[in-house]
């Protein structure tokens, strides 16, 4: 299938400041792009592109006071298959995990592993390790947390989500990530596009979505504690320890969000004439 991806984001910049944007499709999906994946920037500024320590593509600029607009549109080819499931994927002992996965066992800004470890072991110690344990965590989070846009807050952590029992998609993922890490399963935060493809359309403005990945059986698997069902058309943009590592824009100064639009639509494939 073909999916049209796009965004239009406008910030009001208070003074000259550096801004980092993470708006490109993840390098792992670059091979599927059918059009250039270029960030259009309203201000005439120099841009520096680089890959961060998690392998995400980033763009840094020195923004000037006033309106700053990031926009882009591209077309990507997708398999049209739902997220893979790995019921036979085993949990790897910590002493045998690849070195680069170990940081995804530790506490981070929004994932207080140390403060939720006791809860995790009380809830999931008797579950089968590996995929069944991760599924049990996702099922518990989905069953105990209510989705609520009004409960969104940029400083809300996994511990806050557990206490309040409400949140948005990133909050579901932060809590699930924390519980997985407490059970010695490497888990990382993921963000990208996820439209209403193959599911009933939700009459709400489109947004970037959050999910998470776990390392089982020598590979990363995609999970989603909010929906807890395989989805179609997921397009990755970035991964990190939690949402702090994958912010769409980071302004090193005071900025105000003025406009935010995201597009994720399946489009019909053009058929060549016979």
pLDDT of residue 273: 52
Read off the pLDDT of residues 197-212 as tens digits, 9 standing for 90 and up: 888 777 666 789 999 9
pLDDT of residue 204: 64
What separation in angstroms does the CA of 131 have from each of 89, 90, 229?
A: 6, 7, 14
Residue 269 has pLDDT above 90, yes or no: no
Mean pLDDT of the chain: 95
Read off the pLDDT of residues 30-51 as tens digits, 9 standing for 90 and up: 999 999 999 999 999 999 999 9
Domains observed in the chain: 2-79+248-267 (2.60.40.2250), 94-245 (3.10.620.30)
**What's the pLDDT band for 19 if we cut at 50, 70, 90?**
very high
The count of C-alpha atoms lying within 13 angstroms of the C-alpha of 259, restricted to the half-sphere facing its C-beta, is 10
Give the pair of three-digit tokens for residue 18.
Answer: 């550096």
Report helix, strand or coil for 182: helix
pLDDT of residue 149: 87
Read off the pLDDT of residues 135-180 as tens digits, 9 standing for 90 and up: 999 999 999 999 998 888 889 999 999 999 999 999 999 999 999 9
Read off the pLDDT of residues 66-107 as tens digits, 9 standing for 90 and up: 999 999 999 999 999 999 999 999 999 999 999 999 999 999
Please state the rounded mean pLDDT for residues 203-228. Answer: 91
pLDDT of residue 201: 74
Task: Please state, in angstroms and rounded to a whole number, the distance separating the CA atoms of residues 198 and 119.
Answer: 35
pLDDT of residue 271: 62
pLDDT of residue 263: 93
Task: Please state, in angstroms and rounded to a whole number, the distance separating the CA atoms of residues 146 and 143.
Answer: 8
pTM of the model: 0.94
pLDDT over 70 for what percent of the chain?
A: 97
8-state DSSP, 213: E
pLDDT of residue 196: 85
Q: Which helix (H) or strand (E) holds 138?
A: helix 131-144
């Amino acid at each position: 299938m073909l999916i049209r991806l796009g965004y239009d984001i406008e910030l009001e910049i208070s003074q000259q400041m550096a801004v980092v944007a993470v708006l490109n499709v993840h390098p792992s999906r670059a091979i599927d792009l059918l059009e250039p994946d270029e960030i259009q920037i309203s201000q005439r500024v120099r841009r520096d592109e680089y890959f961060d320590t998690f392998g995400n593509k980033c763009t840094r600029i020195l923004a000037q006071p006033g309106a700053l607009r990031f926009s882009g549109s591209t077309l990507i080819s997708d398999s049209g298959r739902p997220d893979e499931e790995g019921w036979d994927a085993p949990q790897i002992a910590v002493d045998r995990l690849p070195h680069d996965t170990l940081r995804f066992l530790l506490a981070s800004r929004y994932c207080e592993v140390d403060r939720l470890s006791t809860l995790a072991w009380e809830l999931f110690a008797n579950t089968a390790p590996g995929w069944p344990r991760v599924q049990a965590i996702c099922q518990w989070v989905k069953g105990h947390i209510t989705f609520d846009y009004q409960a969104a807050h940029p400083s809300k952590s996994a511990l806050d989500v557990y206490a309040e029992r409400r949140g948005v998609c990133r909050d579901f993922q932060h809590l699930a990530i924390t519980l997985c890490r407490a059970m010695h399963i490497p888990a990382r935060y993921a963000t990208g596009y996820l439209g209403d493809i193959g599911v009933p359309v939700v009459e709400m403005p489109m947004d970037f979505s959050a999910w998470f990945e776990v390392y089982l059986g020598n590979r990363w698997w995609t999970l989603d504690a909010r929906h807890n069902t395989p989805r179609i058309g997921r397009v990755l943009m970035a991964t990190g320890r939690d949402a702090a590592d994958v912010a769409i824009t980071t302004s090193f100064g005071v900025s105000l969000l003025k406009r935010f639009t995201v597009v994720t639509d399946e489009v019909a494939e053009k058929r060549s004439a016979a």
